[in-house]
Chain A
């Protein structure tokens, strides 16, 4: 199944989120998507297990965002077409939520890049392909968008900058000390 990401994003932009769905409704929308594909949706126990597995404060809002994206665009129908019979729904969701762990609902709602990342990771979890892109191009784009990786990169850069600043400060202190010592000798 080919997913048309720009069209999906246009549809989502035309259907802004006025208020978030209650968690139960969001779960129902996601389950319906699996049912549309004749795939057994996760049971109540499966959802509890998913939440425990995620063990993440953002998990519930991510469930709500997925439901919004499914209901607010052609993503639900496209997803149903992409799901193969016998797909393990819980495994798909576990893989997806693991993949998008650092994304908040606000990021997905208001940030074009994070919304695209969310959509593309859902497509990847379903084993779908992106329209007009080779698998290699899609992987490259996801790599560019990967917020988790970027956060680590930002953290590394910040630490390196701090270390360098401290190193320079230390060098400066040492130079000042040397200068003071030398002056002492002359005096």
Chain B
């Protein structure tokens, strides 16, 4: 086994901080239009009208498909052409794009970017599969801020002038920075690492109006005493455990908005804020179209982008239906979302534990892929792909300690080394698995 790894093996991608934030200013009206567009469509009760509005975006998509070398070839092979795509229903006759295919053809799927597109290549996190290189234009990079404007309004949060946004980060590496954020009401963005000793002090100093984090960061936040309460907390959770949500609500009583996004597609849906509607994700239409009636997530990006995505399969399970929610939302809602391999392990006492509570352990180690399976109540198998021998000992030690913390007094861990391909069953590897015998 090799001890040196290519740079793309890191689970946490390296960040490049863009300091010329004043260049966001010309895009403020665009961000505002995106937020208004989302709000407008979320209030259209009539489905044919909503569809007709979304279909006006198809013209742009047809042009992008024509400019994409991958799609030109792929459509020709299938006897199709962009002109066939006139209505949303037509999509079902088009080929899907799997995550692995995008990873292989990452440089052929995008259209030829113009210089003013200011494209960058980012890598998706490798925690649920091999990283995918994703080409993004400037508006792709800024899109989340446009969506945040909409979400703030949706949550009824009232922001102070020049709001400060904190990205509370529990990833190893401890990266921190502060930049201006003109595109979000002339605010500022502070990345705070929960791993640093002065994280709590820094958080208190910044007093964020909006806080982004993952479940591990939120877990840390819930453990702190006397921290400022943001107006809105957002998490793009793989899986946000109900227990954590309840603890957080007691300690930091801010609305928690859970949204579903992938690096490849950007934000796709947000979880309804109603307490009696967990697991119902409202789709960010018209920016994206998630095909209804299927058992997996199939995404077509309608918003213009350098990377046209037609029937992209992020590898997540779920069913989309037209919905008139009691929260006031009209549109399409993703339910039965089994994305990111929601998995529960049972402790020896029979308590159910969210397996994703262990995800942070793996972010401390360079791996290509992994799978942790509970085979019996106290027995686990850990399959590793691309792990350095020297890394395995500390990883097992950390994992065993984490399992003890969660209620396994004497967890037994059997480690095996496998090829990455063996873990890539289906569209996306499932890093946590509970075998039927474990229950």
Contacts and interface: CB of A to CB of B under 8 A. Distances in A.
A68 B290 CA distance: 36
A154 B112 contact: no
Given A144-B86, A158-B72, A111 B78 contact: yes
Nearest to B82: A150
Nearest to B94: A113
B75 to A, nearest CB: 7
A165 interface: yes
A87 interface: no
A111 B93 contact: yes
Contacts of A150: 81-84
Size band of the interface chain B makes with A = 10 to 19
Contacts of B84: 113, 144-145, 150
B396 interface: no
Size band of the interface chain A makes with B = 20 to 34
B63 to A, nearest CB: 9
Nearest to B78: A111
A104 interface: yes
B90 to A, nearest CB: 8
B83 A157 contact: no
Contact of A107 (B66, B67, B72, B79): B79
B80 interface: yes
B79 A145 contact: no
B81 A153 contact: yes
B425 interface: no
B19 to A, nearest CB: 25
A167 to B, nearest CB: 10
Given A144-B83, A161-B67, A161-B69, A154 B93 contact: no
A137 interface: no
Interface of B: 66-67, 69, 72, 75-76, 78-84, 86, 90, 93, 112
19 contacts: A103-B79, A111-B79, A111-B80, A113-B79, A113-B84, A113-B93, A144-B84, A145-B84, A146-B83, A147-B79, A147-B81, A150-B83, A153-B66, A154-B66, A154-B75, A154-B76, A161-B67, A161-B112, A164-B112
